[in-house]
Structures are given as C-alpha cells and as structure tokens.
Chains A and B, each alone.
Chain A
Amino acid sequence: MNGSDDRLPPRSRERRHFLLGMGAAAGGALAAPAALAATQANAQTQDRAGNAGTQHHVTDAPTGDASTEGRWPFYGDFQQGIITPRPAAGMIAAFDVIAKTPKDLEGLFRMLTERLAFLTQGGRPPDLDPKLPPADSGILGPVVAPDNLTATVSVGASLFDSRDWLKPLKPRHLQRMTRFRNDALDAGICHGDIAVQFCANRPDTNIHALRDVMKMMPDKLVLRWKQEGSVPVIPPRPDGRVESARNFLGFRDGSANPDAGDRALMQRILWIDGARGEPAWAERGTYQAIRIIRNFVERWDRTPLGEQERIMGRRKSSGAPFTGTTEFDAPHYAGDPHGTVTALDAHIRLANPRTTGSEKNLILRRPFNYSNGVTKSGQLEQGLLFICYQADLEAGFITVQRRLDGEPLEEYLKPIGGGYFFVLPGAREPGDYLGRTLVEAVRAGNASPT
C-alpha cells in the first residue's frame, strides 16, 4: 500500500492486490461500523502477509504470526477458508442435524452464521451473573481474539436424503462417500449432515470455536466426529523465498497446487456458476472432499530414499520434480513416455498426468497433518487430513482418486474416514446467512437446475 510493491516477486504482488480487492469489496458491502473496522483490520493482516512475500499458494507453509489480532472477512460471495492461506492449525467437525422443518433449518443456519461471524471477528462475550455458567468457555481469555480463524460450512448428502423437502435440491454430484479399493472406512469417522472446517493460527482457537458452537446449539447440532491437524510453521526467509510445508512422509505438500490468487482459475476449478447444471441455490458454492488417510510412517521411514522419491515423483529434500530444480518448477512428462525419469505410477504423475484434458480434473488441496496416538500394534496413528475443493466432485476428487487407486504409495496409506460435502455459498453481508439460498429454494419449491 506504500509503493513497496517493487520489492515483491510479481506473483506475490498479484496476490496482494487480489486479497486487498477482496477486503475492499467486503468492506463496501458492510454497513455496521464495527464490521467495517473488522474488515480494515483484516486488510492490514493481508497486507502484512503480502509484504512478507510468502503467500501465493493456499498450502505455502504458514510463516507464524505473533499477533492474535489477524482477521479474515467473514462475509463475502464465497465462504472463507478455501482460498485463504492455510494457517498452522485446522480442524474438521462433522455434525448430525436436528431439523424437521425448513423453519428449523433456517433457525440452525442463522444461529450458526451468527456464532461464526462473531468467532471469526472476535470480541468480548457477555459477562453473566457468577451464579450462572459463564457464556464462554474462557479458554482464549475474557476477550476472544480472532487469530485468523476461518470457519467453512458445508452440507452432506444425508442432510438432503433424509428430508423429503430437501431431496430435490441436492447438488447433482453430492453423494455419500463410498469405498475406494485401498479404503478401510470406520463408520465412526465418516459422513455427516454438516461439516465445519475451522482453521486458525493456534489449535486452541479452533477448539474454542467448536466448543462455542456446541454449547450454543445443542438443540440443533449433535457432534458426530472431529479430526484436528496441523501444518509446520516456517518463519519467513530473509530472501523472501516461499516454500510448501512438509507432510508426515517428509515431502513438501502443495507445491503444484493451483494458484489461489488467480481469480479466473479459481472460477474455473472451484466455484459453481450457472453453467454447471447445478441447482441455482448452489451458485458460489463448491464441493469439499475430506479424507482421513493414515500413513504407515514406521514402514515409510524404513524405505530407501530413492524408492520414496520414485513413489512420489519428486525429490524429498527440495520437493523439486525430476525435471526441475525447485519445488515450483512444473514437472514435464512429454519427453518421458515410458516413465524413465518420472515413473508412470508416481503419485504426482497419476494424480495429474498433465495431458490434454487433465486440467478438467484440477483440485485445490488444503490438507493438514494429523497425529492421534498409538495403534493397538504400538505404531503411530498419524497421517493426512486431506481436504480438497472443486466445482465438480466427479471430475475432481473422484476421478483423481480413481487414477491413484493401485498406486505404489498405497502400501503406506490407509484411508479410514472422511466424507463428501458441499460448501454453501457465502453470506454476503450482516443480515444474510449461510444456507439462505437453499432455504429460499425450499420455500419456493424451486428444484429445477439453472
């Protein structure tokens, strides 16, 4: 904002403008002064991020934030927490919904929106008579700091399937996640009527938000399962170089992720518009695939480095593809039809063969590493809380996963949970609420696709 743009690599500059634009747009739509202040504070956070020159992929390693005052705008065309840079701590909480009527569902969405708008912007919960249980768990202190919290609300197929008045409005690709060949799904950590993805700088901020929602809405939401995860913080480098965080197999994860700062690209791979045969209410939404994928880390660590790299299709230390020198160099397969450089069944080559047509299968990945304890056999129970977003679940996650079925990496993986969800369109301004277009479509009895 002060002419310092020249110092930034071009990509960061673009991204910064994009983010500032987003903040300004949200600010323009806001009426309440408090909310406006929140948006301005947020623009500063984004400016800071932009100046550090470290953010252009959602999956770039978080650089760490000493302040807990950073805010992302809650209101906007699209929900937050998707193209927002991924912070250090993430959580998925899946709920069953108690809602018999459209009115119940509206009440649920309104209340959830109100809580999340408060939690993501921060503030002071009311002081109550000390003879009563306090209004807030207090785990963040008397004032709730926003801490870059984002909350992203999505709905599962079961929400629609078990309610006749919602059935006709189900997004066309939304379905119950079924088993892929390497899966061993545990029903206790699968599916749900609603999922909320919480992301923040600190895990306690996510836990605080979850406890708030559970305390305020016990008559509407019953917790089904939750999984927390983390991403290692890498302090900003003096040379401004950006890196992707590593997952629990020790590889950089996110290097080839589509650029979330590229609006046209995001419109193409993420956001539902009128041209996708989806119900009109679903516009500005996107599909979310969640997979809890256990990693057999002991076995992986006993695998020769060369084999690890062959299986992934990248160098472990730098994250570079075999045809490049940095992790952000694109892999080239054109001169390598037999897989002598990059194996044909390498993870990245199967996941994205980079052939004509395969750009239709692009997904935006935003995963977290998880570590849950010890298995009965005394091995570490850890892995990847895989989360990805796409405008077409079939062409996106499902197609990519089918291509990965049978990959050599499978020997080190066991998908055990997760589900498919549809991320609701954003709430545009105070007074609007998440799920409004769906509730209105129910009321209008309007189930026909656009």
Chain B
Amino acid sequence: MRLKYLLAVTALMSTLGGTAYAQQNTTLDLVEPIAEYKIYVSEKLQQLVTDTKAFTDAIKAGNVDKAKSLFAPTRMSYEAIEPIAELFSDLDAAIDSRADDYENGEKNPEFPGFHRLEYGLWEKNSTDGLAPIADKLLADVTLLHQRITDMALPPEKVVGGAAALMEEVAATKISGEEDRYSHTDLWDFKGNFDGSEKIFILVRPLIEKNDPAFVKKVADNFNTVGTTLAKYKSGDGYQSYDKLTDDDRKVLASAVNTLAEDLATLRGKLGLN
C-alpha cells in the first residue's frame, strides 16, 4: 500500500505539478477498495437472488413454515448493501418499503415486497394471495442485480454507505419497527453492521496512519456491536427482537449513534465530497 501510495503521488506530482494532488491520490487509492467492494456487492446480490428464489418458491408452494424460516436469512444480503440498492429508489421501495409508507398501511393494495410477505406470513399465518407479490419481489431483486452489475459505483456513495447504514439503524431500526411482524430485526442489524464494517475495513488502510485513534474507536464500536449481537445468536441466526434486553438495546443504540457520528467523517477524511 505504502509503495503504491508513493508511486501514485510521484505520478500525480509530475502530471499535476502540485496542490490538488493530496485529494487526487486518495481518490486513486480508493480504486482498489472500490473494486473489491464491487465484488462484495456482486456476491451479495447473487446470494440475494438465489435466496429470494427459494423464499418465494416456498410461498408459492403454500409452505408457510418454510417461507418463515427463509425470510430473515434472505433479507440479510439485501440489508448489507442497502445504500447501494437505494441508488435505485424505485426498486428499493418495491423491495423493502414498510406499511407506514402507504396510506392505510397494510390494507393498501400497493404495499409490496418483503414486508408485505412478512405481514401475510406472520399476521395471517398464510400464503393466501401472496403469490403475485412473491413473483414481483423476485423480478425486482433480479432487476436490481442486473442494474448494479452494469454500473460503476460512485466512490462517495460507497464510502458514504458506511455511515448511511448506521443512519438507517439509528433512525428506524433500533426501535424494532422494521420487522414488526416477524421480530427478526436482529438479523437485519447484523446485515447492516456487516455491510458498514466491510466498507470501513476496505478503506481503513488509507486512514490508519494519519488517524489511528479514529480507526481504533470505530473498530472498538464495531466490536461492541458484534459482542452484543453475539449474545442473541441462535442456530444460524438470531433470537426474536423481543428478547433484546433494555440494557443491550441502550448499548446498541449508543454504539450505532457513535458509529453514525464517526463514519460520517469518513468521506471527508478520504478527501471525497
């Protein structure tokens, strides 16, 4: 990394002859992390399509229990890359919007996606009428995969995604309102934190030298989240959100708010606008 950095600086100095190079070289240094992140996103999307297929198949086969068991693990790959998925707001709304986004909530026939299926499976304990919604979800997820594969990821969106994921959790997830029918919120948390930490880990070498205290503080907070969530592991996944104690909810809330504050400086630290 160090050698590459020097080479990049020398190359830029000779072409730019001065002042703007500091910013230029960080952008250049971001090339590799972003390429790596693109691979991460592709893998998650691949997984999301495969899992959504199995999940929606179960619904269409009328298998409520199986569909329930596949709901939370399927969502995790989506949650990990949510800020990138949100670049396509039409698809994000179709895939992941909540009843509150619609007048009359669940009764509104336009309420689509994962949470509409979650509502049917848990509240109604049935797959009745869910098949068309399941088909649409699979189609949307597949389209999302295609669109993202075809695009170049904007560096500021990738780096900004680390904080954006924490803002999501801080604003509307810590309350347990995301998966309000299934109470599988801790799975989503895990997806969000993993996705955010991935970005942090990829750019970490670029800031470690200049700002070791910052890097340590962020890493410590990710650890706090990791150990707190680990208490609620159950099999391959997590216990119901109701099981989260008040104390642990506070610890998570504090870690999320702190990560949101700190990661909000990541773009600036890397010279991105």
Contacts and interface: CB of A to CB of B under 8 A. Distances in A.
Chains A and B are bound partners: yes
Interface of A: 96, 98, 129, 131-133, 162, 214-215, 218-222
B94 interface: no
Contacts of A221: 254
A133 B272 CA distance: 12
B250 A96 contact: yes
B76 to A, nearest CB: 26
Given A219-B221, A222-B250, A129 B258 contact: no
Interface string B104-135: 00000000000000000000000000000000
Interface in B237-260: 247, 250-251, 253-255, 257-258, 260
B75 interface: no
Which residue of B257, B258, B264, B267 has the most chain A CB atoms within 10 A of its CB atom? Answer: B257
Contact of A222 (B254, B264, B272): B254
A98 B247 CA distance: 9
A215 B261 contact: yes
Interface string B56-72: 00000000000000000
B226 interface: no
B258 A218 contact: yes
B264 A133 contact: yes
Contacts of A162: 247
A220 B265 contact: no
A222 B265 contact: no
A237 B267 CA distance: 56
B251 A98 contact: yes
B273 A131 contact: yes
B257 A218 contact: yes
Judged by DSSP, the binding face of B is: helix
Interface in B151-204: none
Contact of B267 (A96, A131, A219, A222): A131
B205 interface: no
B212 interface: no
A49 B254 CA distance: 41
A131 B272 contact: yes
Given A129-B268, A131-B268, A131-B271, A218 B261 contact: yes
A98 B250 contact: yes
B197 to A, nearest CB: 17
Given A131-B271, A131-B272, A131-B273, A218 B264 contact: no
A148 to B, nearest CB: 29
Given A129-B268, A131-B273, A219-B255, 19 more contacts: A98-B254, A131-B268, A131-B271, A131-B272, A132-B265, A132-B268, A133-B264, A133-B265, A133-B268, A162-B247, A214-B257, A215-B261, A218-B254, A218-B257, A218-B260, A218-B261, A219-B254, A219-B257, A220-B254
B78 to A, nearest CB: 27
Nearest to B269: A132
A89 B39 CA distance: 54
Contacts of B267: 131
A94 to B, nearest CB: 13
Contacts of A220: 254
Contacts of A133: 264-265, 268
A214 B170 CA distance: 13
Contacts of B273: 131
B196 to A, nearest CB: 15
A149 to B, nearest CB: 23
